[in-house]
Chains A and B, each alone.
Chain A
Amino acid sequence: MSKSAIEVPSQGGFSFDLCRRNDMLAKKGVGLPSFLKTGTTIVGLIFQDGVILGADTRATEGPIVADKNCEKIHYMAPNIYCCGAGTAADTEAVTDMVSSQLQLHRYHTGRESRVVTALTLLKKHLFSYQGHVSAALVLGGVDITGPHLHTIYPHGSTDTLPFATMGSGSLAAMAMFESNYKEGLTRDEGIKLVVDAICSGIFNDLGSGSNVDVCVITKGHKEYLRNHLLPNPRTFVSSKGYTFTKKTEVLSTKIIPLKERVEVTEGGDAMEE
């Protein structure tokens, strides 16, 4: 028996083995389960002392809000954070994985992690999965070479920018940035601009909503401002509340006692240590 193609050992990357099975299932009417997408507005900008990242907090499953207050700004290293848009599981998994790799690298080199290291690790991973890992990221941090801000697309391409937005609300947020961004912003000006951009996404994009998270990274110091702004409180709470007394009616009851199958003896041997 001869094989027509040379057997190549698997080297990572996407394994397409199950695609034929998925097609067969689809023909039979069994669809793929839907993903939890984060809708999202994420932004980043470089100000005079470092980098500021911002994100909304709504996670959607189609037209329904699955999580009203999720965390989209992920920890990568003490001096590097990453905002994620796209499929929630993908952004979580890829940022956690690269965060661990960075820590091992820090032990190996004895130095603070650099943003370009995180960038290269992420883009290599995403490219090898040919866009099937649906993670669109805004990576920002301050290292020995200075402040850096990058965007990373699901297919693995990257951009290095002074200000960036991603997600379904990126156009609303970019409109704010393009109008008001200038070089050398102070910390307060930078935070205000990031908050304005995220709010623009929250109110004008249906895929984004709820609260604003901000993360300020400077040389040697970081501030993670979770729920920095809460512009969407619930508008109406009934004053008297509601009772839920209606229970399922019991039509008949039948109790069958279970016969004892096992004899339980007290004492006996103690478990092995």
Chain B
Amino acid sequence: MTKQAANWSPYDNNGGSCVAIAGIDYCVIAADTRMSTGYSILTREYSKICKLADKSLMASSGFQADVKALQKLLAARHLIYQHQHNKQMSCPAMAQLLSNTLYYKRFFPYYSFNVLGGLDTEGKGCVYTYDAVGSYERVGYGCQGSGSTLIMPFLDNQLKSPSPLLLPAQDAVTPLSEAEAVDLVKTCFASATERDIYTGDKLEIVVLNADGIRREYMELRRD
């Protein structure tokens, strides 16, 4: 008796791309606002970026129903933490919580590809990149989603330190200024939109620094 393949899948892919870049005293998190299914657009104005704590933001692409469920769970756990510890969760703590939450559903995963960005306890920018089941790593920049294969090589070229064979490895955070990082992100998305059909409509950029949170929007191609 051969195993029957499922004729129904509980998952769907709503497309989109997310990027986060860590700076010396800031963090830039960006995602496009297009939500699609198959070849159709569901909406042009859907935010993929969620504020989990004062100093942590999460951008997620993949199956938005699972993303929404994950965000609700993390918000609830953060509230419990605040009641128990009388303070907000730090970004590294939130990073660990997200990883554990994802691995908890190791055998029926959240179809959610996340990038967590924020400021660590010293006020330096930090970015954590995840896979669907919770493997994570602190990095200087990260991207996920349908346009990630287009954006990552460009970020590697602009932000990665040269080979450690010749020079000692540089710090994870980029030496770029906040304005330069935002410019870089805008270029990444304008380029990814040209070649990826699931990325486009509008770009939402959130900048987190010592002064607080700033939100910016940019128009992208709508085709």
Residues of A within 8 A of B (CB): 39, 58, 60, 63-65, 68, 168, 202-210, 231-232, 234-240, 242, 244, 246, 249, 251
Selected contact of B41 from candidates A204, A236, A244, A249, CB within 8 Å: A204
Q: Is the CB of A65 within 8 A of B194?
A: yes
In chain B, positions 156-198 with a C-beta closer than 8 Å to chain A are: 157-158, 160, 162-163, 165-166, 183-184, 186-187, 189-190, 193-198
Q: Is the CB of A246 within 8 A of B194?
A: no
Q: Is the CB of B193 within 8 A of A58?
A: no
A-B contact pairs, 6 of them (CB 8 A): A58-B223, A168-B39, A204-B40, A209-B221, A209-B223, A235-B190
Q: Is the CB of B222 within 8 A of A205?
A: no
B187: A residues at CB distance < 8 A = 236, 238, 242
A242: B residues at CB distance < 8 A = 158, 187
Q: Is the CB of A65 within 8 A of B190?
A: no
Residues of B within 8 A of A (CB): 36, 39-41, 146, 157-158, 160, 162-163, 165-166, 183-184, 186-187, 189-190, 193-198, 218-223
Selected contact of B196 from candidates A64, A231, A240, CB within 8 Å: A64
Complex: A230 Cα to B37 Cα, angstroms: 26
A237: B residues at CB distance < 8 A = 190
Q: Is the CB of B162 within 8 A of A249?
A: yes
A64: B residues at CB distance < 8 A = 195-197
Q: Is the CB of A246 within 8 A of B40?
A: no
A231: B residues at CB distance < 8 A = 223
Complex: A60 Cα to B165 Cα, angstroms: 40
Complex: A255 Cα to B219 Cα, angstroms: 53
With A246-B162, A249-B163 known as contacts, the answer to whether A206 contacts B222 (CB < 8 A) is no
**Given A207-B197, A232-B223, A238-B183, 6 other A-B contacts at CB below 8 A?**
A63-B196, A65-B195, A238-B186, A244-B157, A249-B165, A249-B166
Q: Kindly provide the distance from the CB of B150 to the nearest chain A CB, expressed in whole angstroms.
A: 8
Q: Kindly provide the distance from the CB of A245 to the nearest chain B CB, expressed in whole angstroms.
A: 10
Selected contact of B165 from candidates A236, A244, A251, CB within 8 Å: A251
A68: B residues at CB distance < 8 A = 194
Closest 9 CB pairs of A and B: A209-B223, A236-B190, A206-B197, A206-B39, A65-B195, A232-B223, A238-B187, A202-B223, A236-B186
Complex: A178 Cα to B72 Cα, angstroms: 44
Q: Kindly provide the distance from the CB of B46 to the nearest chain A CB, expressed in whole angstroms.
A: 15
Complex: A204 Cα to B220 Cα, angstroms: 15
Determine the residue in chain A with the shortest Cβ distance to B38. Answer: A206
Complex: A237 Cα to B183 Cα, angstroms: 9
Selected contact of A235 from candidates B157, B165, B218, CB within 8 Å: B218
Q: Is the CB of B193 within 8 A of A235?
A: yes
Complex: A60 Cα to B198 Cα, angstroms: 12
A60: B residues at CB distance < 8 A = 197
Determine the residue in chain A with the shortest Cβ distance to B147. Answer: A63
B196: A residues at CB distance < 8 A = 63-65
With A58-B223, A249-B165 known as contacts, the answer to whether A234 contacts B190 (CB < 8 A) is yes
B194: A residues at CB distance < 8 A = 65, 68, 234
Q: Kindly provide the distance from the CB of B138 to the nearest chain A CB, expressed in whole angstroms.
A: 23
A205: B residues at CB distance < 8 A = 39-40
With A234-B221, A235-B190, A238-B183 known as contacts, the answer to whether A206 contacts B166 (CB < 8 A) is no
